[in-house]
Amino acid sequence: MPNFKGQPQHQAPGRVALVATPETLAPTHAWALASGLGTVCGVATPGPVAPGALASVGAIEHLGTLEDLATAHVRLGIRTLVVCLPSPLREAAARASTIARTIGLRLVQLPCAFDAAPATPTGIGADLDPEALIGRGGAALDASAIARARRALTGKRVLITGAGGSIGSELARIVAGFQPESIILMERSENALFEIDRQLAARFPRVPRKAMLHDVVEHESTAAWLQRLRPQVVFHAAAHKHVTLMEDHPSHAVNNNFFGTRSIADASADCGAERFVMISTDKAVNPRSVMGATKRFAELYVRSLNGRSSGMRSCMVRFGNVLGSACSVIPIWTRQLAEGGPITVTHPEMTRYFMTIREAASLVIQAGALTEQEAAGASVFVLDMGEPIRIVELAERFVRLHGMEPRFAPDAPGPNENAGAGAPMIDVVFTGARPGEKLNEELAHASESLRPTPAAGVMAWAADPSEILPRRMAQLVEDLSAARWSPDRDKVLRLIRNHAQGVGEAGPKPDNTNKDLPKIASAGLSAA
């Protein structure tokens, strides 16, 4: 009698077939390759697909639809069926389970990444596809990317800070699929840590893991823990990310974003880690906010580590807003829609770069897996996020994907074509840009030049190394040390401004452009 639902089979590996959609194929293929279940021989789809739709993993045989699995089983000697379908296709997943049972295949059913979002109010946002919202497909791990990730992660001790957050938890799920020696989940929120630890226990029971309730700001204990655990790869995702909150609490941003990064980066280098990957943000480029400035300072510190003799390769990965992450626009608008509105948008001309959680985490893995030769000495990577999207247009798409029409005030500075007669309407209101916010984000400083990398969707920025002199970094650390515990907001802002002009001032000018706004000059930490 065969086992089902991924129960262990004590038999030699055989041939594996996948059941997936074009969207779920790449992560399913990556999991199957890393699982050791056997050779992947093809993929069956719930229905017919267009030519080239399965090209995300390179050359793979399309076995046909679910009804063709029995024939493929006889022809290819398939022993295991790995199924990963989104929740709207639950009937197809049930059919695949029935077929596997009928023809005697081992069945492994994987959770779908698109179903990983937190629960939302009834019927609102439950099946919203983030890729449909941003109007483009996400990045998939191709064969070469999978090979690089396996080389960097398989058999390694991997530590993830901020492991309970949106990006940190997705990194943990992806890393677990590449069979690391162990995963260390470092997180200061007990509830978030409990949840990601529970998820990995259920989905990857054979991957050893350690759940650590710990704050990276605690320098001495961080160093002691890393000396004991000896991680080889470190993904640093822990940070304060909310712009407006950090404007009111700048000392927290200094302490967590800068000194937390310094603590974990130093400890990683001292314990002999091979790779250190910091998750950064486009808000660190010419930052207008306290959050962006402290992330910029953290970037500079991490880059300064590459001059040490420890042998650790350090890099940063910048990306923009992540759809579906905690307190991002999707959960906020979802709640507003469930409450009957209005939908709030800060400014009619504000734009942002957007990615999905899965896309961002996958590209972080790719960037972190590049060898020094492949990166050609670059230490800053920027993810390809397409073109910036106007927030108001995103709000319109969000409303229409829920079968409604947006309604703007007659004098609102935005679209006023209230089409869709007969569709229910919901108000969209402009609340104004908040302190620290820019109308448009940037991806690179003037001193950084773009070049491609072997990883599709990952660009490398090569910066002038003279920008980070040891004496400048020492001065930055000394000055910020005076701010990290201070309750005096104005004093902390002054100290930050000493190194970053333009921080803590009012939002965009009334003319709706930011061309005249002061920018944080990278020269604030450059060679003088």
Contacts of 389 (CB under 8 A, 6+ apart): 134, 135, 351, 352, 353, 354
Contacts of 487 (CB under 8 A, 6+ apart): 251
Whether residue 384 contacts residue 347, with contact meaning beta carbons closer than 8 Å, is answered with no
Question: Kind of pairing, strands 157-161 and 233-236?
Answer: parallel
The span from the CA of 419 to the CA of 389, in Å, is 21
350 burial type by CB count under 10 A (0-12 exposed, 13-18 middle, 19+ buried): buried
3-state secondary structure of 100: helix
User: Distance between CA 319 and CA 354 in Å, rounded?
Assistant: 8
Closest CA relative to residue 358, chosen from 51, 61, 86 = 86
Catalytic option among 156, 283, 295, 438:
283
Q: At what angle do helices 190-203 and 166-176 cross, to 10 degrees?
A: 20
Q: 392: Cβ–Cβ under 8 A, 6 or more apart, which residues?
A: 345, 348, 350, 414, 415, 428, 430
519 belongs to the catalytic site: no
Q: How far out from the chain centre does Cα 325 lie?
A: 9
Strand spans (E) along 66-180: 78-84, 106-109, 157-161
Cite the active site residues: 283
